[in-house]
Amino acid sequence: MKKAIPPSARTAEGGILSIKKGMYMNTLHIPEKKIPVIDTFDTVVLGGGTAGAFAGIAAARRGSRTLIIEQFGALGGSATTGLVLPLMLLHIKNYDGHCPLSAELVERLRTVGGTEEDANSFDPVMVQITLEDMAADSNCDILYYTTLVDAVLEDRTITHVIVNNKNGLAAYKAKCFIDCTGDADLIKLVGASYQSGNHNRVNQPVSLRFDMAGIDFERFHAYMRSLGNDQYKYFAMNTPGMKDIIRKAYENGVLTEQDACYFQAFGIPGRPDGMNFNCPELTTKENVVDAEFMTQKQLEGKKAIMRLRKFLRDYIPGFENAYITSIAQLVGFRESRRIEAEYMLTIEDVLTYRKFPDGFAASHYPIDVHGVDDVSLGLKYQHDVPVDEQYWEVPFRVMIPKTLDNVLTAGRCAGMDFRAQSAARIQPTCRSMGEAAGIAAAMAVKNEAVRFNEIDGTAVRREIRLPDKF
């Protein structure tokens, strides 16, 4: 299979300057094209996922004419298209971890039965519908089924992004841009610096999540009690007796060794006979952001899901008649590209519970590296972490690329080292990043020249209402 040609540099008029040489055996020279500029916005958000939806809504509510460009047909990203439940708790005493927009989303979800009392889990369908309602109420424009393919960079400023959809190539002009692609796609396209992976440049394993329904929870609950576990809306590798059952299925050839490495399931609010599965976890490599790799893992993942289906139906009482209702449309990345930012959040910042004047998000979530090497430093994982008064903060500067003036990067691809990112990649933190980025964008567009490194991060902190102490 021939490799695709990388995006080429373009002038603002749409003419092609050059195509990079030496990367591929064959190159194709494309005749000059005129690309229509569809519209001009104050803020364009690339990616409408966990961070992007919040960025767009926050910017629009503060008077910035805003467009969210999303490759799928829903907002919410990992939470909706990727079926990533639950949010994961921050474990801070007297703080639920919800930024203002997240708190609003939770309250709206409660009115439609889309979340539980602790708001840690949710119905992904209700999330995407509610986020769309919030965007509409905020006069935030959305463009679905559209993919970022290039950008126009003049000195340190991006003037246009070039996208592709069923209408063909098109350009959008804006005063500022927020990269919420999860993989720092905009950053890569314009040649700004980024990091990826651990010290060996290997990324964390990916997952492909799925949902099942038709579960007899009365029978399943009785079985969980027989194993000494009363929490039947959650079970995993560490559930009493579960490792033995999984081992038996592996020995009988129902599961592969890789299938047996990681297993986790959650109840779904509003679905009395359904569960969501945070598995299979799939092997990784250097540079997971590769179309061939993603295709391979989507195909491998579906085969693994069919094996897990057989395992559940044959080995877990209550699942005899259970069936698959959804498979995530995107492979779940835990980590890919991370920008080189004005400030890089480090493992030392997390371990020493560092606070920042421009900190806009707080967390007590632990280092959570999957399957690459043992860098957890002995910290306990989610289910073992006690609620504590200690916490660390994420500073505004992690979202500012070093070499760009009018761009912010929010979400799991912000400026963090490999291990710090494993603690900051969860949804509550990414929601806060998105809202903080939208707040900063609205501040910036009020200035004649947009330079995010001149934005007062302490003002962003005040606007997102992060207290000085919990």
- 3-state secondary structure at position 245: helix
What's the CA gap between 398 and 344, in Å, rounded?
6
CA distances from 225 to 142, 220, 273, 277, 306 (A): 47, 9, 18, 20, 27
pLDDT of 15 above 50: no
What's the CA gap between 182 and 333, in Å, rounded?
9
What's the CA gap between 464 and 457, in Å, rounded?
11
What single letter denotes the amino acid at residue 349?
Answer: D
Whole-number pLDDT of residue 377? 44
pLDDT of 327 above 60: yes
pLDDT of 19 above 90: no
114 with 440: CB under 8 angstroms?
Answer: no
First to last CA, the chain: 55
Q: pLDDT tens-digit profile of 260-278?
A: 989 999 999 999 999 999 9
- 3-state secondary structure at position 415: coil
Say which residues have a Cβ less than 8 Å from residue 266's Cβ, sequence separation at least 6: 85, 86, 121, 233, 234, 275, 276, 277, 278
Q: What is the pTM of this model?
A: 0.91
- 3-state secondary structure at position 381: coil
Whole-number pLDDT of residue 286? 80
DSSP state of 383: G
Q: Tell me which H or E stretch contains 179.
A: strand 168-179
What's the CA gap between 112 and 119, in Å, rounded?
13
> How much is the average pLDDT of 372-384?
49
CA distances from 248 to 102, 252, 262, 272, 303 (A): 42, 6, 15, 29, 20
Q: Tell me which H or E stretch contains 276.
A: strand 271-277
Say which residues have a Cβ less than 8 Å from residue 178's Cβ, sequence separation at least 6: 43, 44, 45, 46, 52, 55, 56, 59, 407, 408, 409, 410, 437, 438, 441
Whole-number pLDDT of residue 122? 94
Whole-number pLDDT of residue 373? 58
Nearest Cα residue to 452 out of 436, 467, 468 = 436
How would residue 376 be classed by pLDDT, with cut points 50, 70 and 90? very low
Domains and CATH numbers, the chain: 1-32 (no CATH), 35-201+334-470 (3.50.50.60), 206-327 (no CATH)
Is 291 exposed, middle or buried, given 0-12, 13-18 or 19+ CB atoms closer than 10 A?
exposed
Q: pLDDT tens-digit profile of 184-215?
A: 999 999 999 999 999 888 899 999 999 999 99
Q: Which two tokens stand for residue 103?
A: 């708190």
What's the CA gap between 410 and 229, in Å, rounded?
39
Peptide bond into 280 cis (omega under 30): yes
What whole-number percentage of the chain has pLDDT above 90? 74
- Please give the backbone phi and psi of residue 316, each rounded to the nearest 5 degrees, phi first: -115, 110
How would residue 31 be classed by pLDDT, with cut points 50, 70 and 90? confident
> How much is the average pLDDT of 95-110?
95
How would residue 384 be classed by pLDDT, with cut points 50, 70 and 90? low
Whole-number pLDDT of residue 25? 67
